[in-house]
């Protein structure tokens, strides 16, 4: 354990040079993290909104550092060379992208291997990269913080699986609780003696030990790691789910059992080809599937949620101020996108205020979607008009956006589609609409048509042109025009106002 950073220690201090610590800061300067895992080595460069960082660059190499390490006690020689070449490339890329700092974190393979220190010294001497090795509990804590970056309100159990280890961390009230580590990584399991029965007993025994450490009262398990994401992608294929976005994809325990059975009964190569999983990753999926099955049997969660955020995002979260952590990632991301891509940054906030009379009774979860939609309503204006509506929908449903469930993604996307298009009939995106019920689709249409009207009602501020008054009992929507509004209110504006009222099933009334 010499040179290994423990859960009680401070981690990755260099990030403080670049991470925005000012509570008023909105933007993040370019920050890079290299994650040296047992199976893969990945470089991620973050940029964008400080509370909702975007992936400026993301590349991985399946080096397999930890392959056969359980048997030899040493890093895989071929993996060492592949890993070293990957790190050489990453160092040059980071320099070219002017990344500062570039923080390098190593986990199970490097910390447990007999020649781990030797590998670290070589990397530092020849490439100038300092590998900071974290122990199992610290790895669990950082992965859990990555989940918090994506889900500020996350509560449950985080399960991070790598090639040589599997970590658990308890999340409650926005804080990380008990952490535990195990050797349930697929590379380790390949070396378990006793055949199928021996493997099954080993997984069950280890899982029971983990349960004693962290408890079993967890309604949701957040799954972190490439093997879990591969299984989730196969589950999407099996059930015919209409979206392929993995982050926030949710599975019920029964569905997990059915998918694991399906994976173990079918040809791995055929499954791999059907969804485009890499060979190196697919090799570990059958063993990871058995671990997942026992995880569900032991902890009995109500649901499992896939997280694309883990240790790398956890390092960023580590150095966020408390005030920054409290911000809504969705709103921060939408605000940053508007600033970068809209014709008139800041108009979204004015549009939101103008439309508030229509949504006075909106609950907080719906209100944040309305606010985000208003900020995003003009961010695809450069797209050809024939494709603008679908581009809006596609951007939101597939984008790397945090704190947004799949139905919320579709609601936001559908509202933006209707901002540019009256009807959603015959849309190529129609299968995805099925994630919403009829009422939600109707509400998204109303929001979209409200933005469609408000966005063209005034150049700078729609409230300078008029105001809206809704009378729900009378089923009437009044538009009160100012002098500026009277000049702005032509036949196109009238048509869009009437279209909004039709969607709301109210009578349109224009005053002034």
Tens of pLDDT, residue by residue over 115-141, are 999 999 999 999 999 999 999 999 999
Across all residues in the chain, what is the average pLDDT?
93
The pLDDT score that the predictor gives to residue 205 is 98
Which tens digit of pLDDT belongs to each residue from 167-206? 999 999 889 999 999 999 999 999 999 999 999 999 999 9
The pLDDT score that the predictor gives to residue 4 is 54
The pLDDT score that the predictor gives to residue 27 is 77
467: helix, strand or coil = strand
Say whether pLDDT at 57 is over 50. Answer: yes
Give 159's strand partners: 168, 223
94: helix, strand or coil = helix
pLDDT band at 17 (very low <50, low <70, confident <90, very high): very low
207: helix, strand or coil = helix
Mean pLDDT across 84-96:
96
Which of 343, 423, 327 has its CA nearest to residue 383?
A: 343
Element (H, E) at 28: strand 27-36
Cβ-proximal residues to 501 (8 Å cutoff; 6+ apart), any chain: 477, 507, 508
Q: Is the peptide bond before 213 cis (omega within 30 degrees of 0)?
A: no
pLDDT band at 6 (very low <50, low <70, confident <90, very high): low
48 versus 415: the higher-pLDDT residue is 415
Task: Check: CB of residue 163 under 8 Å from CB of residue 39.
Answer: yes
Tokens found for residue 40: 């893969």
Query: What is the distance between the alpha carbons of residues 361 and 345, in angstroms, rounded to a whole number?
Result: 27
List phi, psi (to 5°) of 307. Answer: -115, 130
Which of 204, 203, 135, 214 has its CA nearest to residue 176?
A: 214
Which of 492, 412, 394, 396 has its CA nearest to residue 448?
A: 412
15 versus 237: the higher-pLDDT residue is 237
The pLDDT score that the predictor gives to residue 25 is 64
Tokens found for residue 227: 């093997």
Task: Check: CB of residue 433 under 8 Å from CB of residue 406.
Answer: no
pLDDT band at 459 (very low <50, low <70, confident <90, very high): confident
479: helix, strand or coil = strand
Say whether pLDDT at 113 is over 80. Answer: yes
Say whether pLDDT at 332 is over 80. Answer: yes
20: helix, strand or coil = coil
Say whether pLDDT at 14 is over 90. Answer: no
Count the neighbouring beta carbons within 10 Å of the beta carbon of residue 439.
8
Query: What is the distance between the alpha carbons of residues 366 and 503, in angstroms, rounded to a whole number?
Result: 18
The pLDDT score that the predictor gives to residue 24 is 60
Mean pLDDT across 489-496:
94
The pLDDT score that the predictor gives to residue 259 is 97
| Strand blocks (E) in 294-395 | 303-307
Mean pLDDT across 325-353:
95
Tokens found for residue 156: 């449950």
Mean pLDDT across 378-404:
90
Say whether pLDDT at 1 is over 50. Answer: no
Tokens found for residue 212: 């004693």
Which of 358, 374, 390 has its CA nearest to residue 451?
A: 374
Strands 166-172, 41-49: pairing kind: unpaired
Say whether pLDDT at 420 is over 90. Answer: yes
Tokens found for residue 101: 């700092």
Give 105's strand partners: 35, 132
Give 186's strand partners: none
Task: Check: CB of residue 418 under 8 Å from CB of residue 496.
Answer: no
Say whether pLDDT at 501 is over 60. Answer: yes
The percent of residues in the chain predicted with pLDDT above 70, rounded, is 95
The size of the chain, in residues, is 512
Say whether pLDDT at 23 is over 70. Answer: no
Give 367's strand partners: none
Say whether pLDDT at 450 is over 60. Answer: yes
Residue carrying the six token digits 């538009």: 479
Instruction: Report pTM.
Output: 0.92
Count the neighbouring beta carbons within 10 Å of the beta carbon of residue 286.
17
Q: List, edge to edge, every strand of the sheet that includes 476-481.
A: 466-471, 476-481, 507-511
Using only C-alpha atoms, the chain has a radius of gyration, in whole angstroms, of 25
The pLDDT score that the predictor gives to residue 100 is 82
Task: Check: CB of residue 210 under 8 Å from CB of residue 63.
Answer: no
**Alpha-carbon torsion (193, 199, 202, 203), positive or negative:** positive
Domains of the chain and CATH, by start: 4-134 (3.30.420.40), 137-312 (3.30.420.150), 328-510 (1.10.3210.10)
Tokens found for residue 103: 């923080």
Task: Check: CB of residue 161 under 8 Å from CB of residue 284.
Answer: no
Residue carrying the six token digits 């804080």: 175
Mean pLDDT across 408-424:
95
């Amino acid at each position: 354990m010499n040179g290994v950073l423990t859960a009680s220690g401070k981690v990755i201090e260099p990030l403080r040079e670049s991470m925005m610590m000012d509570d008023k800061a909105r933007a993040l300067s370019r920050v890079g993290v290299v994650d040296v895992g047992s199976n893969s080595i990945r470089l991620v460069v973050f940029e964008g909104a400080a509370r909702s960082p975007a992936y400026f660059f993301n590349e991985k190499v399946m080096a397999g550092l930890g392959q056969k390490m359980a048997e030899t006690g040493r890093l895989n020689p071929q993996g060492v060379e592949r890993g070293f070449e990957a790190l050489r490339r990453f160092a040059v890329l980071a320099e070219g992208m002017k990344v500062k700092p570039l923080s390098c974190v190593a986990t199970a393979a490097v910390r447990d291997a007999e020649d781990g220190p030797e590998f670290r010294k070589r990397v530092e001497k020849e490439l100038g990269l300092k590998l900071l090795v974290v122990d199992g509990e610290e790895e669990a804590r950082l992965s859990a913080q990555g989940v918090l970056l994506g889900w500020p309100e996350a509560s449950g159990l985080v399960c991070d699986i790598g090639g040589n280890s599997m970590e658990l961390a308890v999340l409650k009230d926005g804080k990380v609780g008990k952490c535990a580590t195990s050797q349930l990584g697929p590379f380790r399991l390949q070396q378990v003696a006793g055949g199928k029965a021996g493997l099954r007993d080993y997984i069950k025994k280890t899982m029971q030990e983990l349960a004693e450490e962290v408890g079993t009262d967890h309604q949701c398990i957040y799954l972190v790691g490439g093997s879990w994401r591969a299984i989730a992608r196969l589950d999407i294929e099996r059930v015919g789910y209409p979206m392929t976005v993995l982050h926030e994809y949710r599975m019920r325990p029964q569905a997990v059992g059915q998918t694991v059975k399906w994976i173990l009964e079918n040809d791995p190569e055929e499954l791999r080809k059907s969804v485009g999983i890499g060979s190196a990753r697919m090799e570990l999926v059958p063993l990871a599937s058995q671990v997942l099955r026992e995880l569900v049997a032991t902890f009995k969660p109500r649901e499992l949620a896939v997280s694309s955020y883990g240790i790398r995002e956890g390092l960023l979260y580590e150095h966020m101020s408390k005030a920054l952590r409290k911000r809504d990632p969705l709103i921060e991301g939408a605000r940053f996108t508007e600033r970068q891509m809209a014709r008139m940054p800041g108009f979204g906030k004015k549009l939101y205020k103008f439309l508030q009379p229509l949504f006075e009774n909106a609950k907080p979860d719906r209100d944040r979607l309305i606010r985000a939609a208003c900020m995003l309503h003009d961010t695809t204006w450069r797209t050809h008009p024939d494709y603008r509506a679908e581009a809006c929908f596609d951007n939101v449903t597939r984008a790397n956006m945090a704190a947004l469930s799949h139905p919320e993604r579709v609601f936001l996307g559908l509202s933006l589609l209707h901002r540019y298009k009256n009807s959603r009939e015959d849309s190529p995106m129609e299968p995805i609409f099925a994630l919403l019920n009829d009422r939600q689709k109707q509400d998204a249409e109303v929001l979209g048509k409200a933005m469609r009207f408000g966005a063209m009602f005034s150049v700078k501020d729609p409230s300078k042109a008029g105001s809206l008054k809704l009378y729900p009992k009378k089923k009437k929507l009044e538009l009160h025009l100012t002098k500026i509004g009277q000049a702005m209110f032509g036949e196109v504006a009238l048509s869009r106002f009437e279209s909004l009222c039709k969607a709301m099933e109210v009578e349109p009334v224009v005053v002034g």
